[in-house]
Structure 1
């Protein structure tokens, strides 16, 4: 089982963003790393300068580097950015908005979790058009993942295995609206919440997390107990989404379980310590309510 570190979804300070990837390069036992802005194109200029340095550091450490595209392309400059990334990048591009495919001309690429790959026909079509690896949407149950793995064994399938689950993305900025600002004059207030802004229901129950224009789960997805199940299905890689916790420690725990050096129960306890009380979920994978955490085997077909 390989480990892939997804792109940072939050508005971290540029120095913190750079240093995070430097530490990942030097210390984290991951096989591939995604770099790029997925959520809001307004953030991109802040860390664009250190991107080449980060890519070089990761590559020198033996990590495969992917360049991730925006998940929602709405503006002219965003279309140009996506086209430029697809046409000019020397590295494998991870497409998160289907419009990016028009600029790849069938060249090998990856598909990110924001593209709705829900059935065998979609996966087969993407494979014929150059997709070599696909990170499946995190809401898929185990039965669907297994069916997709059998459908296209030549495509490397990846499953969202750790981190807040991306649920929706909008043209409106919730962070700006909360602070009585407009999206065009947001003052980058999303930077105040490096792990997302928690939101509760009216009766005080933890519900969601807001990240600029993105809605995430309040819980961290956690499939540490199901790595063996994923491997048996034919899944090639687990995706770890960066959170404001020690991601090197998270990666080491997943690596130790994948390598058989650590049992699932011990790993679960270790993750609880690293994540400092954050609630975990695996409901989507188990064919249940997404916010739930269930033990035992995932539900079968039907």
Structure 2
């Protein structure tokens, strides 16, 4: 049984090998079209559908951070995200994560009923965000990226990708603790696709135990990303099988949360993996 403290001792648990985080993009430009919409009702219905399919957490984003994406200002992000959280909260108590790097957005999101901040900048873009999360007793996902979304995939370079990403996340986790965030509310994310080559992404997933050795749960955001298409040749719409394969391997290598577009299929994979593990498959 795995446990995560989302906010103020709001513990969630699962008896599957990993938690499932379902993606809802309140954006017009996220890379996978079925996950995105500018319509609040459609986004709310998607969130409730993902919960019904078995999502443990719903991750709402109001700013696309795909390669080449433009920055979204605070007012626009607030308009996309906060009414959606409020609408979901009228129908569901599912834990809500907000994919944002702005303290003003997260402050309003906490007030509306969110529990977790999923920050691609690992608390480095907005100096006020870490203190806010600590004061609200919320959870945080600290992700590694190299560069900024607009240009991060132009020419990513590392001497040792795994070692450098590990070192960065260890430092950002220490910073989060200094902000006052309880260690059991910190989650790490190696940032697949965020300033990495195809080979870098595969190396990071295979090295998952190097990240869990830091002492924090590991989140893997792999779903339908381009590193899968680089091998299969498929566009985002055709990458479900590859996403399931990557998620399975990530979980076997330590990932405790899988961030996905396809909740039902991921849950089926985890159910089968759980059964296999009873017979000694690790």
Q: Same fold (TM over 0.5)?
A: yes
For the pair shown, the structure with the greater C-alpha radius of gyration is: 1
- RMSD over equivalenced CA pairs, Å: 3.8
Q: Distance in 1 between matches of 2:276 and 2:53?
A: 16
Which one of 61, 68, 73 corresponds to residue 36 of structure 1?
Answer: 61
After superposition, residues 136-285 of structure 1 pair within 5 angstroms as: 136-138=190-192, 139-141=201-203, 142-150=205-213, 152-153=214-215, 155-165=216-226, 219=239, 222-225=242-245, 229-240=249-260, 242=261, 247-260=262-275
* Larger relative helix fraction: 2
Cα deviation code 1:191-214 (max 9, x no counterpart): xxxxxxx9xxxxxx96877xxxxx
Counterpart check, 1:51 vs 2:85: yes
Give the paired residue count: 198
Say which SS state the counterpart of residue 94 (structure 1) adopts: strand
The answer (yes or no) to whether the contact 2:19–2:258 under 8 Å persists in 1 is yes
The answer (yes or no) to whether the contact 1:161–1:221 under 8 Å persists in 2 is no
Q: Distance in 2 between matches of 1:56 and 1:114?
A: 34
Shift of 1:13: 4.0
Counterpart check, 1:100 vs 2:126: yes
Which one of 19, 32, 37 corresponds to residue 12 of structure 1?
Answer: 37
Q: Distance in 2 between matches of 1:134 and 1:19?
A: 29
Q: Which runs of 5+ in 1 are unaligned?
A: 71-81, 168-197, 199-204, 210-216, 263-302
- CA 1:103/1:227 → structure 2, altered by over 3 Å: closer, same or farther? closer
Counterpart check, 1:124 vs 2:187: no
The answer (yes or no) to whether the contact 1:133–1:158 under 8 Å persists in 2 is yes
Cα deviation code 1:199-237 (max 9, x no counterpart): xxxxxx96877xxxxxxx984583534656434432212
Cα deviation code 1:30-76 (max 9, x no counterpart): 221211313163764356423212245342xxx32111115xxxxxx
Shift of 1:132: 0.3
Q: Distance in 2 between matches of 1:110 and 1:7?
A: 18
- CA 1:255/1:228 → structure 2, altered by over 3 Å: closer, same or farther? closer
Counterpart check, 1:135 vs 2:189: yes
Q: Distance in 1 between matches of 2:99 and 2:249?
A: 27
Shift of 1:114: 6.1
Q: Which runs of 5+ in 2 are unaligned?
A: 1-17, 65-69, 147-161, 177-184, 193-200, 278-282
* Larger relative strand fraction: 1
Which one of 106, 111, 115 corresponds to residue 145 of structure 2?
Answer: 115
Q: Distance in 2 between matches of 1:34 and 1:20?
A: 11
- CA 1:84/1:226 → structure 2, altered by over 3 Å: closer, same or farther? closer
- CA 1:238/1:83 → structure 2, altered by over 3 Å: closer, same or farther? closer
